[in-house]
A and B are shown apart, each in its own frame.
Chain A
Amino acid sequence: AQSVTQLGSHVSVSEGALVLLRCNYSSSVPPYLFWYVQYPNQGLQLLLKYTTGATLVKGINGFEAEFKKSETSFHLTKPSAHMSDAAEYFCAVSGTGRRALTFGSGTRLQVQP
């Protein structure tokens, strides 16, 4: 079985500051990991994904995440926050052969001017 823990339901940063959203997972098989973003009144949009290969994954809108197997983590970062990054972010894990994703509870990112 898989599970995902997102530390911090709310994160607030200043515009231009580093964004760090934390995600830890547990999985009995090599995981596939995803970050999704949800803007108000919209569905979820894929930011980036890790399947195999390079552990540093780059996504859209300047976001990236690093898969660290030893720490069972997949934290999302962006060097410089923009006002348009304010949204809710979800980390998700999928194990081999499983059809559905297991989502974390989400982290709401606020960006202060």
Chain B
Amino acid sequence: ETGVTQTPRHLVMGMTNKKSLKCEQHLGHNAMYWYKQSAKKPLELMFVYNFKEQTENNSVPSRFSPECPNSSHLFLHLHTLQPEDSALYLCASSQASGSMNEQFFGPGTRLTVL
């Protein structure tokens, strides 16, 4: 595997379910990100992790819970979601040092909340 991978690619869940999205990067990066991409809205940054520590949380509801066990893996745990949470969730990674901050994106998980 190369680059940034995300699983699953598609997920349908009910409002009472609990599920997790997984992201893995094979680039040796130390920063990882979760973005939400909804139809007709700009890309929204959700969380940023640097060296496994959360450094940014953009007022994301607590029904989204991120986890970063190491610099290569990032999870997004989902519970009691709402239909408006249906979106494409994108993971990205970059070098933690330096300010060039070129980010590499995974293919995304298309989430549908019923």
Contacts and interface: CB of A to CB of B under 8 A. Distances in A.
Nearest to B10: A41
Q: Is the interface of B mostly helix, strand, loop or mixed?
A: strand
- Chain B interface size, as a band, is 20 to 34
A61 interface: no
Contacts of A94: 99-101
B42 A32 contact: no
Q: Contact residue range for chain A?
A: 20 to 34
A44 B90 contact: yes
A100 B43 CA distance: 12
Closest 10 CB pairs of A and B: A43-B105, A103-B43, A44-B105, A105-B42, A94-B101, A43-B107, A96-B99, A100-B45, A43-B106, A43-B108
B90 A34 contact: no
Contacts of A32: 99-101
Nearest to A106: B42
B74 interface: no
6 contacts: A43-B107, A94-B99, A94-B101, A99-B31, A99-B48, A106-B42
Nearest to A44: B105
Contact of A99 (B55, B102, B107): B55
Contacts of A104: 42
Contacts of B45: 100-101
Interface in A79-113: 90, 94-101, 103-106
A34 B102 CA distance: 8
Given A49-B102, A98-B99, A103 B42 contact: yes
Contacts of B100: 32, 49, 51, 94
